[in-house]
Amino acid sequence: MTKVLYTPAFLFLTLGLTLLYGYKPATKGQQKEEVITTLDLNNITDKDRKHSKLFPRYRTGKKLSSQAFLEQESNSKQLSNEIVVTKIPPIIDVELERRCPNYPKSGLVGLAHAADVIVEGTIKDKIISQLTEDEGFLFSEYSVSVENVIKDNLGVPIEINSAISVIRPGGKVKINDKVVSAVVPSFRPFIEGDQYILFLKFIPETKSYQAFGNGSFPIIEGEIRTRYDPETGPKRQAFIDEIRDAVKTELCQNVILN
């Protein structure tokens, strides 16, 4: 059972990991509009049903497909016709295994060990946004063109220049003529043409991959960008080299992909 811990020491450690390697997208692509999926609630694929079960931490207690919810939220909006549902996932406890080296950074080592694969790729397009299992939030599926494989899944290897399916929390849909956005404040939507380094978990049932806010690193003009350093950041190749070293380094700090 996952523990949720809010001690000052833990919060300080979590903040440190976030500042070091909890990068949040702040890309040029964010100036574009996210693609809206028109939901057909009577035509949900088996693949989407399987993916919908992967987001229990994003329960909101709402039912986005409910006409009562749509009408109530619409009536409460004064400046916009868009209904926005926001969810901040809970903090997850991590354990310190041993003293960590200064290089590679402990947060990056933890992410490298937590991920099944690590790739550099470009968002080709958004395939769909769909309801989570309890219909309280949304998730989205994207097609990602892989340009570099930094850590591979030896059981199911990824080929360079191939396209992989990547899912993540959040999205934007039209339900009964109402536009509904599900927003994770720390994890902005992927936009077509944006380039990322992605730490991913493999989903065997669908041969897809799951992306996470603290494991999705945007690349702008050859640099890694963050919400904390939106104008500059580590050089792309130096960051990739550090990831490769992190993959080979003994785990000292567990990091939960979140």
In angstroms, rounded to a whole number, what is the distance separating the alpha carbons of residues 209 and 144?
Answer: 10
225 assigned to some structural domain: yes
Does some domain include residue 104?
Answer: no
Residue-number span of the structural domain to which 34 is assigned: 22-95+116-247
Q: How many domains does the chain have?
A: 1
pLDDT in tens for each of the 258 residues of the chain?
A: 444 333 333 333 433 444 344 444 444 444 477 899 999 888 899 999 999 999 999 999 999 999 999 988 877 755 567 999 999 987 766 665 567 788 998 889 999 999 999 999 999 999 999 999 999 999 999 999 999 999 999 999 999 999 999 999 999 999 988 999 999 998 989 989 999 999 999 999 999 999 999 999 999 889 997 655 556 678 999 999 999 999 999 988 788 898
pTM of the model: 0.84
Phi–psi pair at 248, nearest 5 degrees = -90, -10
In a domain, 205, yes or no: yes
Strand partners, 219: 195, 224
Q: The tokens 């220049």 sit on which residue? A: 161
User: Is residue 197 within 8 Å of residue 115, measured between CB atoms?
Assistant: no
Report CA 92 to chain centroid distance, whole Å.
Answer: 16
Note whether residue 171 is domain-resident: yes
Is 152 a domain residue?
Answer: yes
CATH number at residue 177: 2.40.50.120
CA atoms within 13 A on the CB side of 19: 6
Is 139 part of a structural domain of the chain?
yes
Residue-level pLDDT at 79: 52
* Residue 229 lies inside a defined structural domain of this protein: yes
In a domain, 167, yes or no: yes
> What is the C-alpha to C-alpha distance for residues 151 and 149, in angstroms, rounded to an integer?
6
